[in-house]
């Protein structure tokens, strides 16, 4: 099976839009506002499925076949860890700079667990950097991809997707939606989401390479609108109806949306903005949370009116984007240095990354 070298700029743009939606949701939540984007948590299953496509495209037919599991894991760590460490540094810097508690032995243990991608038992499995939970699942999942998934036939991979779908469906109904995985109580649900979405992305890419994927096309505006609909159309949260709605998005809408996006070839301004959004998505996703929490906390101390809270949301989101851009510049400079040391080697963009 030979893979054509392609670039999927629209996928980059979509993951950037989804990452911004997550930041808006987290910012609004700090004020107890009615979510402007109530289902932005659906970005995570979207990221996982997109990641399956990206990793299969970048690695399955080359590096996975010629490198050891540890060498492949080292490649992923090289891509993901600099920004992860920057995110942890931002979190600790805010804690120290604003006097939000002492840096005691428990904080150091949390930091060690975060670096080792080990969940911390509590309300957040990665309390120093809450969005890290999806990144940890993705990195461990990348290793499983190298060890197992990459060796599976398409038929067996399809069976695995089906089993993952059943597990995700059970968790979605039980928990009343797919806003799960970030707490120790719901971590199994996050794994179940990955177990369906990531192999599904791999399967979509393999079928595309083999010309067995339907040539679904859609106008750019419709692709973007479909993604926004999955994260904006409200249903009562934590209900069976909400769980079924989320499952329909993950199982039916996302594969169709991603298939159509892979077939689109944007140009001009749309291509440039899509590439920029793709570059921004991972640093924004992994760094924004402590910034949002602290900015909203400082504003809440002034007892703001409701209108001030609403106005502050885009301001805080813009602040998170600016800091994410600075982190991206540091990350790119570091990776250029690493690239000069190790030579030219493919390093795939994380899905946002989870």
Distances (CA, A) of 314 to 36, 280, 303, 320: 11, 17, 18, 10
Among candidate residues 81, 194, 180, the one with its CA nearest the CA of residue 137: 194
Give the closest residue to 283 by CA, choosing from 242, 221, 332.
Answer: 332
What is residue 1's predicted lDDT score, i.e. its pLDDT?
41
Could you check whether the bond before residue 353 is cis, i.e. omega within 30 degrees of 0?
Answer: yes
DSSP secondary structure of 44-89: HHHHHHHHHHHHIIIIITTHHHHS-HHHHHHHHHHHHHHHHHHHHH
DSSP assignment of 257-306? HHHHHHH----HHHHHHHHHHHHHHHHHHHHHHHHHHHHHHHHHTT---H
Within a 13 Å sphere around the CA of 31, how many CA atoms are in the beta-carbon half? Answer: 27
How far is 177 from 156, CA to CA, in rounded Å?
A: 28
pTM: 0.92
pLDDT means over runs of 10, the chain (354 residues): 67 96 92 78 97 92 81 87 95 85 84 95 92 95 92 94 98 96 96 98 94 88 93 86 96 96 90 95 96 92 89 94 96 84 59 50
pLDDT of residue 2: 43
CB 26 within 8 A of CB 163: no
- Tell me the C-alpha distance between 151 and 158, whole Å: 13
Residue 108 in tokens: 């150091």
Coil, strand or helix: which one is 3?
coil
**Distance of alpha carbon 193 from alpha carbon 214, whole angstroms:** 24
Longest Cα separation, the chain: 61
* Number of neighbouring beta carbons within 10 Å of residue 336: 10
DSSP states of 91-151: HHHHHHHTT-S---HHHHHHHHHHHTT-PPSSSSSSTTSTTHHHHHHHHHHHHHHHHTGGG
Q: Coil, strand, or helix at residue 317?
A: helix
Q: Nearest-5° angle of CA 43, CA 176, CA 204?
A: 40
Torsion-angle region of 176 (φ positive above 0: left; ψ -120 to 50: alpha; else: beta): left
Among residues 264, 138, 249, 258, the alpha carbon closest in space to that of 203 is found at 258
Which pLDDT does position 62 carry in this prediction? 78
User: In the structure encoding, which two tokens stand for residue 91, read together?
Assistant: 């979190």
Asked if 289 contacts 19 with a C-beta cutoff of 8 angstroms, the reply is no
Q: What pLDDT does residue 148 have?
A: 92
For residue 242, what are the CA distances in angstroms to 150, 186, 231, 246? Answer: 34, 16, 12, 6
Check residue 190 and give its pLDDT. 97
Tokens for 262, please give them: 């892979």
Calpha distance 178→220 (Å, rounded):
27
Provide the pLDDT for residue 3.
45
Closest CA to 3 of 151, 207, 144: 207
Give me the pLDDT at residue 233, please.
84
């Amino acid at each position: 099976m030979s893979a054509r070298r392609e670039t999927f700029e629209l996928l980059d743009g979509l993951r950037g839009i989804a990452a911004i939606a997550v930041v808006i949701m987290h910012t609004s939540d700090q004020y107890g506002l009615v979510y402007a984007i109530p289902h932005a948590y659906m970005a995570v299953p979207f990221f996982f499925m997109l990641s399956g496509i990206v990793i299969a495209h970048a690695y399955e037919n080359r590096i996975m076949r010629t490198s050891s599991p540890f060498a492949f894991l080292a490649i992923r760590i090289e891509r993901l860890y600099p920004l992860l460490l920057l995110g942890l540094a931002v979190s600790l810097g805010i804690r120290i700079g604003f006097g939000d508690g002492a840096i005691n032995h428990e904080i150091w243990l949390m930091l060690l667990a975060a670096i080792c991608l080990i969940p911390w038992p509590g309300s957040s499995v990665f309390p120093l950097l809450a969005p890290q939970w999806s990144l940890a699942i993705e990195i461990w999942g990348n290793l499983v991809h190298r060890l197992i998934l990459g060796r599976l036939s398409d038929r067996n991979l399809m069976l695995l997707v089906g089993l993952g779908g059943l597990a995700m469906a059970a968790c979605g109904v039980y928990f009343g939606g797919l806003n799960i995985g970030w707490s120790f109580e719901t971590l199994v649900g996050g794994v179940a989401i990955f177990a369906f979405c990531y192999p599904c992305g791999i399967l979509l890419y393999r079928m595309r390479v083999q010309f067995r994927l339907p040539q679904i096309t859609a106008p750019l505006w419709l692709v973007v609108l479909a993604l926004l609909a999955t994260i904006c159309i409200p249903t009562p949260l934590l209900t069976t109806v909400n769980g079924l709605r989320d499952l329909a998005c993950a199982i039916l809408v996302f594969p169709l949306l991603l298939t159509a996006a892979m077939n689109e070839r944007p140009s001009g301004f749309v291509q440039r903005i899509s590439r920029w959004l793709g570059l921004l998505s991972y640093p924004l996703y992994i760094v924004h949370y402590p910034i949002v929490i602290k900015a909203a906390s400082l504003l809440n101390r002034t007892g703001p009116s409701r209108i001030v809270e609403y106005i502050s949301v885009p301001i805080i989101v813009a602040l998170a984007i600016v800091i994410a851009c600075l982190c991206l510049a540091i990350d790119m400079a570091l990776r250029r240095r690493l690239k000069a040391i190790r030579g030219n080697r493919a390093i795939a963009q994380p899905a946002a990354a989870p």
